[in-house]
Chains A and B, each alone.
Chain A
Amino acid sequence: MPVERLTATTEEIVNEVSVNPNREADRLLVHVGRQGGVWVGVLALAALATAAAALALPAVIGSAANAVLGGHSAGVWVLRCGLLIAVLVVCDALDDFAAGAAIARSTAGLRRGVLAHLAALGARPLPGLDAGEVTARLVGNAADAARVAPDVVRSLAGLVPALGAIAALAVIDPWLCATFLVGLPVLVVALRVFARDAHEIAARYLAVQGTIAGRLVGALAGARTIAAAGTADREADRVLRPLPELHRHGVAMWRAQMRITAQDAVLVSLLEVAVLAVAGALLAQGRISPGELIAASQYVLLASGIGGAATGMTRLVRSRAAAARVSEVLDQAPPAYGAAPAPAGRGRLEFRGVTASAGGRTVLAGLDLLLPAGALVAVVGRSGAGKSLLAALAGRLVDPDEGEVLLDGMPLAELSRRELRREIGYGFERPILIGETLAEAIAWGADIPSREAIVVAARAARADDFIRRMPAGYDTPLAQAPMSGGEAQRVGLARTFAHARRVLVLDDVTASLDTVTEHHISATLTGALADRTRIVIAHRASTAERTDAVIWLEDGHIRAFAKHQRLWRNPDYRALFEAREEPEGAP
């Protein structure tokens, strides 16, 4: 089966990189297999019936041939043969359909499950998994894992004709079986050696291919520079420089492939000739009939399908590896939410003995902090001081290792998810907009605000103007709404404004806005949103200056909690803002 093998090599390489089959993966596979439901059962029955019919067919053909050659009426045997063929075709077709249906169910079920789990995990980081890898688990790996039930059923059912054919050879004559069994090991060993070789070549091929793709993506990121310089052709040449090497590895892959395939075909055919020769000798001695000879030649083919069991195993290994990768996502325990509604209050936020870590390092230690309702505070500190972690803790995007955070006297962990998100909102420096249209990108959240509320929020974030200029205004699909960074940031802010009822946590939201826009947004923060508690991570002195108080973080502690004007006298404090502007490469 050269075709299947060719496509398998590269995929297998990719999957074998982190083959780490474990119990979790197996448990997941069982669960996924069950999701195929009734179709798995149908598949098993159809596969077994197909296997049985395939096994019986050569014997029936042989008997029919004997009847024909013996001059008897072959009608009965031909009829049986026809019935078998009918069973074979119908069951095989049913097998195909049931497998497809089962895979469709399992895949959708697993993907839905992973998706729900991802949603439940929320902002909790998945160790070592970036968005691309998470997506790969949801798309490719989930699909691979979901093939498990059909793969298992088919590998097992595939053993029936193979083992049955070996037995059938023995029944016809032990010598035939012996001939086959002696030849078989040669076949297996020969195939093993070359398969390994092919993997290495495929890995080298993939590496060069990755280089070219990487260069191209890099060049496209600089498309404007290349366009301006008129160097597109030069860049293409630079990107394509490794192409001859790719070609070489590609041809090498074919060579390896050629060895396997040619070897495979020759060995099976020779095995068949050998069995035929023995069968012929037995025929000459009158120990078997001509029909049995023809049956034997077919049984050899069925029996050499035992090699297919190895393919089945490879697939199973692949499913298992894929399941292990999917498990990496599912293993992360999602946070538990309480069921309580938010208590009465206007947004008093309190940190009590909060210790929290990020990336295995304790970043904040024993933090105590009380923010009165309606306060506008800035959080400052060197990078790594824990500003973002503090912000994440304030709305329970992460949980503290010790201590607790309370909103109007109630620990955040006791609030229901919906209440929590409704009361505390976030604004990010680089928001990622989710939704089909601009209106959805602003509206999606714990509550769906009315169109009027969306427009009000957009206006407050200075986004209404340019949204109205879009082809379909608020209903413009996100994919067709080309936005600059500043514009996306304003839509993100509108989203925040449309939701947070009591507390707003803003992570350096005005960093890439122009002066006028920033001014207006600051005005919104101190005007229309003045009744809410506002926490702003500030990188600029001018931002900190406009707040009621500044939380100055240093070495996991609060070094000071005071007004900016008072802190400004401290050179260490001033240095904070200078250092911010020290670029890595500048003098």
Chain B
Amino acid sequence: MRLRALGRVLRPSARGPELRRLALWSLVEALPAVLSGLLVARAIDDGFLAGDTLTGVAWLGLLALSVVIGGWATRQTYLSLADVVEPLRDELVVRTVHGSLRRSTATGAVADTAGVARLTQQVEIAREAYASVLLVVQGFLVTAVGALVGLVILLPVALVFVVPPLVVGLALFALALPGMAARQRSSILADERIAETAGIVAAGMRDVAACGAEEHAADMVGAHIDAQARATRELARFTALRTVAVGIGGLVPMLLILAAGQWLHARGASPGAILGALTYVVQGVHPALQKLVRGLGNTGLWLFVALGRIVEATEAPGAGITEGPERSAGAEPDGHEVVLREVSFGYPGAFERVIVDLDLVIGEGDHVAVVGPSGAGKSTLAGLISGLLEPERGAVLLGGVPAAGLDRRIAGRHRALIPQEAYVFAGTLRENLAYLAPDAPDAAIEDAVERLGARTLLERLGGLDAVLEPQALSAGERQLLTLVRSYLSEARLVILDEAACHLDPAAEARVERAFAARAGTLVVIAHRISSALRARRVLVLDGREALVGAHEELLARSALYRDLVGYWGGAPPTRDAEAGAETPAADRAERLPARPRAATPSRKRSHGRQRRRPRRRARFE
């Protein structure tokens, strides 16, 4: 089955024309291999041994000519090879890119960036190995078969001395091959383990030293180092066997021809014919076999290991990972009300469920904050609502349609999820901001930039046409850009999953207010408790329990919520405080705890935002 998968990747049939061209040029390339013994025999018999140097040189001149023609054909075969190998590499790159993107964005998937870096390397190994294998096999066929053909013409009886040992040699090599492949594979695997564990240790040297765990860390990598050394030694044993195969297949024929020389001579074989036959073996069969065995034994194994990896990684769908159930594909949500009915969810392999029997309705136009300790399932809830995760039990409906079953592009028009890890790519600022609304006019972009407070950033970066360097941006800047991007999307349901956690409280408040003022529903996975104070309703998650209600209601009903809010201050902040005070709730919540008197003077810079705020107040009445 694995072989069939490999076959699908290599698909020799799809490269028929290129391979045929390769075969054709190989015939020409074989010219000197076929002719060498024949021409040498003629040069010796008709020329040099007959005392006619000129004739001899003339025959050799023909050989030189065939060498030049063969060389020219070699160039052409190389170009044909390029036409076979480069498209394969293209295809592997395309597979890798599509495959890893598909896997990483599939329902319930986790992105494996490190694995992909390795995969890219594998593509290159596969390319070089594939080329090597083609070259080696083609070279063997051209030289060895060419020599045998020449031998048939020159001295057919000599085949008896050449072919049997050659077959034995090849068979011996074929027998050793599986064992070699296994050793090669374990050597490569051990190497990867070393890289893996060494990578962890190297990245964590500070931690290793701080714990005094040097010996343990060294042992962890050391075990794999020893395994690799063992595999290398075992591989060497098989390599030695390979050398024996070459000796039998390439050198024994020569010995046999010499031993039978007298008999051949007596049967009328000319001196030139015998010398020519020797030439075929010594300069044709033996080196060709040597190259074949060396080439296949090294690079050929790499090809299979690397291709196997690529196929595994890009083809086999991981357990439980799907592109999304078929049932609502193509369906269009009616509105953007969110309904969760007895939803339970646990990650594959995890022991306990993260979310258990959750019932929740988020009506159109609602503003909900989700709070809870880390690991309580807040991000999981965001994933479920946006349809990136599929509930294990129960139903998550968006506009009446199962969220996880929606076509992603359709879903994207109805809801926007902004995760904590902001994705900004190397492109213009406009491309980045209009990512979810490619047709947005500049005026709309500018407006969103203004509302979310990204003007300064936009100007510093050099306007909409500036090309971004993602690495040069801070985490906060990246978040601000992705927030503007989502603001521009046509989606009516916006889910902020700690999307502003790298912004300061004032900037976060501004962003949340802008989104709240935007038409539609807002769900905020809260990083700071202040988000809850701004929301109309709050959902408190703590792993096993979920409670939803208005702020005051929860203060009365939920000990956890009181905890969450209470730890920020002696007197729990109230909505009145938020609505009436001069400072935004974010600051108040942070300052109230210790010394309320310090709060106001320390936050002057946020006052300017007061004018925009009252719009939301109507909601609470």
Chain B residue, CB-CB nearest to A239: B97
Complex CA distance for A587 and B492, rounded to whole angstroms: 26
Considering only CB atoms and an 8 Å cut-off, how many residues of chain A contact the other chain? 166
Residue pair A280, B53 in contact (C-beta under 8 Å): yes
A135-B198, A226-B101 known, 15 other contacts, Cβ within 8 Å:
A65-B258, A96-B236, A218-B470, A219-B423, A230-B407, A251-B86, A265-B74, A277-B60, A281-B56, A428-B210, A517-B374, A565-B595, A582-B504, A583-B502, A584-B474
Main secondary structure of the interface of A (DSSP, over half): helix
- The reply to whether the CB of A547 lies closer than 8 angstroms to some CB of chain B is no
Complex CA distance for A570 and B394, rounded to whole angstroms: 56
Considering only CB atoms and an 8 Å cut-off, how many residues of chain B contact the other chain? 191
A202-239 CB mask vs B (1 if < 8 Å, else 0) is 00000001001101111111111111111111011011
Among the 9-residue stretches B16-24, B145-153, B225-233, B515-523, the one with 4 or more Cβ atoms under 8 Å from chain A is B225-233
Which residues of A sit under 8 angstroms from B194, Cβ to Cβ? 111, 138-139
Among the 9-residue stretches A348-356, A432-440, A525-533, the one with 4 or more Cβ atoms under 8 Å from chain B is A432-440
User: From residue A334, how far is it (CB to closest CB) to chain B in Å?
Assistant: 10
Residue in A88, A227, A247, A486 whose beta carbon sits within 8 Å of that of B247 in the complex = A88
- The reply to whether the CB of A297 lies closer than 8 angstroms to some CB of chain B is yes
Nearest 7 Cβ contacts at the A-B interface: A100-B236, A222-B423, A421-B212, A230-B408, A122-B209, A68-B261, A89-B247
Residue pair A298, B283 in contact (C-beta under 8 Å): yes
Residue pair B274, A131 in contact (C-beta under 8 Å): no
Which residues of A sit under 8 angstroms from B616, Cβ to Cβ? none
Chain B residue, CB-CB nearest to A206: B124
Q: Identify which of A73, A118, A518 gathers the most chain B CB atoms within 10 Å of its CB.
A: A118
Which residues of B sit under 8 angstroms from A175, Cβ to Cβ? none
User: From residue B184, how far is it (CB to closest CB) to chain A in Å?
Assistant: 12
- The reply to whether the CB of A134 lies closer than 8 angstroms to some CB of chain B is yes
Q: A3-B132, A96-B236, A265-B74 are in contact. Are A418 and B426 (CB under 8 A)?
A: no
Residue pair A92, B247 in contact (C-beta under 8 Å): yes
Among the 9-residue stretches A16-24, A254-262, A364-372, the one with 4 or more Cβ atoms under 8 Å from chain B is A254-262
Q: Identify which of B48, B94, B416, B560 gathers the most chain A CB atoms within 10 Å of its CB.
A: B48
Give how many A-B residue pairs fall within 8 Å (CB-CB).
Answer: 537
Chain B residue, CB-CB nearest to A575: B602
Complex CA distance for A273 and B201, rounded to whole angstroms: 59
- The reply to whether the CB of A128 lies closer than 8 angstroms to some CB of chain B is no
Residue in B78, B81, B258, B474 whose beta carbon sits within 8 Å of that of A583 in the complex = B474
Chain A residue, CB-CB nearest to B480: A585
Q: A119-B214, A269-B32, A470-B350 are in contact. Are A516 and B567 (CB under 8 A)?
A: yes
B80-138, CB < 8 A from A: 81-82, 85-86, 89-90, 93-94, 96-98, 100-102, 104-106, 109-113, 116-117, 120, 124, 127-128, 131-132, 135-136
- The reply to whether the CB of B241 lies closer than 8 angstroms to some CB of chain A is yes
Residue in B96, B124, B200, B410 whose beta carbon sits within 8 Å of that of A10 in the complex = B124
B428-471 CB mask vs A (1 if < 8 Å, else 0) is 00000001100000000000000001111100100000000010
Residue pair A514, B198 in contact (C-beta under 8 Å): no
Chain A residue, CB-CB nearest to B387: A228
Chain A residue, CB-CB nearest to B123: A209
Complex CA distance for A213 and B56, rounded to whole angstroms: 59
Residue pair B93, A243 in contact (C-beta under 8 Å): yes
Residue pair A583, B563 in contact (C-beta under 8 Å): no
A268-302 CB mask vs B (1 if < 8 Å, else 0) is 01100100110011011100001001100110010
For this complex, 5 residue pairs linking A to B, each with C-beta atoms less than 8 Å apart, are A96-B243, A224-B111, A397-B209, A482-B110, A585-B477
Q: A115-B222, A280-B57, A587-B456 are in contact. Are A122 and B214 (CB under 8 A)?
A: yes
- The reply to whether the CB of B68 lies closer than 8 angstroms to some CB of chain A is yes
Residue pair B279, A517 in contact (C-beta under 8 Å): no
- The reply to whether the CB of B141 lies closer than 8 angstroms to some CB of chain A is no
B262-314, CB < 8 A from A: 262, 264-265, 271, 274-275, 278-279, 282-283, 291, 294-295, 299
Residue pair A281, B57 in contact (C-beta under 8 Å): yes
Residue pair B265, A69 in contact (C-beta under 8 Å): yes
Which residues of A sit under 8 angstroms from B131, Cβ to Cβ? 6
